[in-house]
Amino acid sequence: MSVGLKQELIKACFDHQLGDAGGEMVMNILRTSADERTVETTRTLMKSRGLEKLSKEIEQRIQTEVKELISVGAEKAHAGDFDGAVAEMMNAARKMPGNPHVLFNAALALLRHIEHRGWNEAFARQARALIERARKLAPTSNRLSAITEFMHGLIKRYGIRPERVMDSADKAALFRRANARK
């Protein structure tokens, strides 16, 4: 179902005193939205209905969910359960595909798995794809360079040819960093 249709459904729910269903639809949009514009239009919709407080409460619940999902994955990684950490974080990325924090942490779980269990081509490609999705959602995030460098370090550590897992933007960034150090 498109975001526009979901937002129309939210209006209908609140217009017909179906607040619980409307709130669930708002949570669904906020969990899965892949851009700030969608979040903003949903906030505006809620505000126009006099539901700004509810909107903020729902956003707070989503933030709490994100923290819980990330902490479960982090706990598993700290305990040495890298398979479990990957499973948890990939599940979180499926639940919240538009949340850059979740995407970063899912990529990090994959990279930590590679770091501790050895090279895994599929995990490296998944991590790169998650990093790219996060880059599109949060291009100014300070975590981008750190996680990209971590991935490049693993590529180098395992003697992998970068073109096997990196796209042209990654290669250009790696080239610039290498030349800047000279």
pLDDT at 175 over 80: no
Instruction: Tell me, yes or no, whether 83 lies in a domain.
Output: yes
Express as a percent the part of the chain with pLDDT over 90.
Answer: 65
Dump pLDDT digits (tens) for 17-72. 999 999 999 998 888 876 778 888 999 999 999 999 999 999 899 889 989 999 99
Residue 168 has pLDDT above 60, yes or no: no
Q: What is the mean pLDDT of residues 97-121?
A: 95
pLDDT band at 181; cut points 50, 70, 90: low
pLDDT at 32: 82
Whether 147 maps to a domain, the answer reads yes
- Count of the separate structural domains present in the chain: 2
86 and 42 in a common domain: no
Exposed/middle/buried for 162, CB within 10 Å: 0-12, 13-18, 19+? Answer: middle
Burial group, residue 89, by CB count within 10 angstroms (0-12, 13-18, 19+): buried
Q: Is residue 56 assigned to a domain?
A: no
pLDDT tens for each residue of 88-103: 999 999 989 888 899 9
Where in the sequence is the domain holding 75, given as residue range(s)?
A: 64-181
Q: Average pLDDT, stretch 113-142?
A: 94
pLDDT higher than 90, residue 166: no
> What CATH code is carried by the domain that includes residue 164?
1.25.40.10
Residue 125 lies in a domain: yes
In the predicted model, what is the mean pLDDT of the chain? 89
- Structural domain includes residue 59: no
Residues 38 and 92 in one domain: no
Res 33: pLDDT: 79
pTM, two decimal places: 0.78
Per-residue pLDDT at 58: 92
